Amino acid sequence: MFGESFSLFRVLGFEIRANVTWLFLALLVTWSLAAGFFPFVYPDLAPLTYWMMALVGMLGLFFSLLFHELSHSVVARAYGIPVRRITLFLFGGVAEMEAEPKEPRIEFWMAIAGPIASVVLGVAFYLLALTMVAVGFPEHIAGVARYLGFINMLLAIFNMVPGFPLDGGRVLRATLWQMKGDIRWATRWATRMGQGFGLLLVALGLASFIAGNFVGGMWWFLIGMFVYAAAAASYQQLLTQQALAGRTVRRFMTADPVSVPAETRIEEFVNEYLYHHNFDRFPVVRGQRLLGSIGLAEVREVPRDDWQRTRVGDVCQQNIQENTIEADMKADEALNQMQKTRSVRLMVTEGERLVGILVLKDLLRYLDVRAELEPD
């Protein structure tokens, strides 16, 4: 999501990453605290003091987001759902779960853990601020702790808005799911609320922008767009998963695909395969064993004079991890793999043997037909 991420450190066994967009958020927060918020609340201090306070505030925000996501992750792991990593990005943090919760009860506790953690941390920061004033720290130093207390409360409140995929939306979905036992219905309502909330933020952002608050307005506009898109995508993803549930790659693949024996010469490959069939890429086999794949790109590498001598097996692309899948894998995992690698065709294997080709178009056609016959 949002391009490059880099690994920072590990904590409690979770890999913590920051997306490049987090740097933008960090700069924006530091700048607005140093040049706006702190000078407004505590006037007449040295500029360097404001920048130091802002820096601590930004690091505190980083810690607060991490604390929130860690609480989701710890609860998820306790329920047996592995968390791949935690990534901080432009709009906060996200814990990447490897599976969706199987029961409403689990989803409820996983979701509510984050806001609870933020409230606890918020109270802790407020108490810290009170203690600091009591033992004689200057008001503005304690003010940084007070600001972080406020930020954590805000984080809890914002996340409890009942629109999926926010935490409150997950709590709502879990509750509806528990009530009716229908995850699809529950997800539909929770994501609709999420889309509604997203649009509301977009509208507020625009109004705020027009009123002259450019940075704040743009900020809410972007968050609104993000929430809206994420809500819509979550529902779509659930529909896809449900439609493909329990079906393997074998069910959708085309068996006995056109394949090129490794000893075929390039000349023959071009005339008999490339010109003859409507495919961009062909599996290359030795006997029945899948060796790799070949397409126009590899042919271009061979000088025309060598077409008679060169064999397909010598020039084919042998790194087949990305465009190969086992016949017994789940169909929705195949779809994930295609999205991740942006490939529209996967070679299907049983062990080392090529048994078929899975084409994205065929999967999508199936999903379209299901959607037509079983509309919402």
Nearest one of 288, 296, 273 to 354, comparing CA atoms: 288
Q: Which of 4, 15, 69, 352 is catalytic?
A: 69
Should residue 257 be labelled a site residue for Zn ion when binding is judged by CB under 5 A?
no
Sheet of 92-97: strand order equals: 5-11, 14-19, 83-89, 92-97
Report, in Å, the least distance between residue 223 CB and Zn ion: 14
Should residue 167 be labelled a site residue for Zn ion when binding is judged by CB under 5 A?
yes
- 182 burial level (CB within 10 Å; 0-12, 13-18, 19+): exposed
Residue number with the smallest Cβ distance to Zn ion: 114
Instruction: Closer to Zn ion by CB, 111 or 266: give it.
Output: 111
Report, in Å, the least distance between residue 58 CB and Zn ion: 20
Number of H helices, E strands in the chain: 14, 11
Should residue 114 be labelled a site residue for Zn ion when binding is judged by CB under 5 A?
yes
Stretch near Zn ion under the rule CB under 5 A, chosen from 17-25, 33-41, 166-174, 287-295:
166-174
**CA contacts within 13 A on the Cβ side of 46:** 3
Report, in Å, the least distance between residue 116 CB and Zn ion: 10
DSSP string, 9-60: EEETTEEEEEEHHHHHHHHHHHHHIIIIIHHHHS-S--HHHHHHHHHHHHHH
Active site (annotated) includes residue 69: yes
Nearest one of 192, 174, 191, 171 to 183, comparing CA atoms: 174
Q: Please report, as residue ranges, which positions from 130 to 159 form the binding site for Zn ion (by CB under 5 A).
A: 159
Tokens linked to 167: 């935490």
Instruction: Closer to Zn ion by CB, 114 or 283: give it.
Output: 114
Q: Which residues pair with 324 in a beta bridge?
A: 347
Report, in Å, the least distance between residue 117 CB and Zn ion: 9
Instruction: Closer to Zn ion by CB, 75 or 348: give it.
Output: 75
Size of the site for Zn ion (CB under 5 A): 3
Stretch near Zn ion under the rule CB under 5 A, chosen from 110-118, 136-144, 303-311, 352-360:
110-118
Q: Assess contact for 160 and 117: CB atoms under 8 A.
A: no
Instruction: Closer to Zn ion by CB, 53 or 76: give it.
Output: 76
Stretch near Zn ion under the rule CB under 5 A, chosen from 146-154, 164-172, 239-247, 331-339:
164-172
Q: Angle at the Cα of 106 (from 103 to 110), degrees rounded to 5?
A: 140
Should residue 107 be labelled a site residue for Zn ion when binding is judged by CB under 5 A?
no
Report, in Å, the least distance between residue 72 CB and Zn ion: 6
Among all chains, which residue has been given the structure tokens 């929770």?
Answer: 190
Should residue 162 be labelled a site residue for Zn ion when binding is judged by CB under 5 A?
no
Rounded distance between C-alpha atoms, residue 23 and residue 223, angstroms: 17
Instruction: Closer to Zn ion by CB, 94 or 335: give it.
Output: 94
Instruction: Closer to Zn ion by CB, 167 or 332: give it.
Output: 167
Instruction: Closer to Zn ion by CB, 68 or 188: give it.
Output: 68
SS3 279: coil
Report, in Å, the least distance between residue 30 CB and Zn ion: 23
Report, in Å, the least distance between residue 159 CB and Zn ion: 5
- In the chain, the amino acid numbered 203 is A
Q: Please report, as residue ranges, which positions from 330 to 349 form the binding site for Zn ion (by CB under 5 A).
A: none
Q: Which residues pair with 17 in a beta bridge?
A: 7, 87
SS3 150: helix
Pairing of strands 83-89, 14-19: parallel
Contact positions vs Zn ion (CB under 5 A): 114, 159, 167
Residues catalogued as catalytic: 69
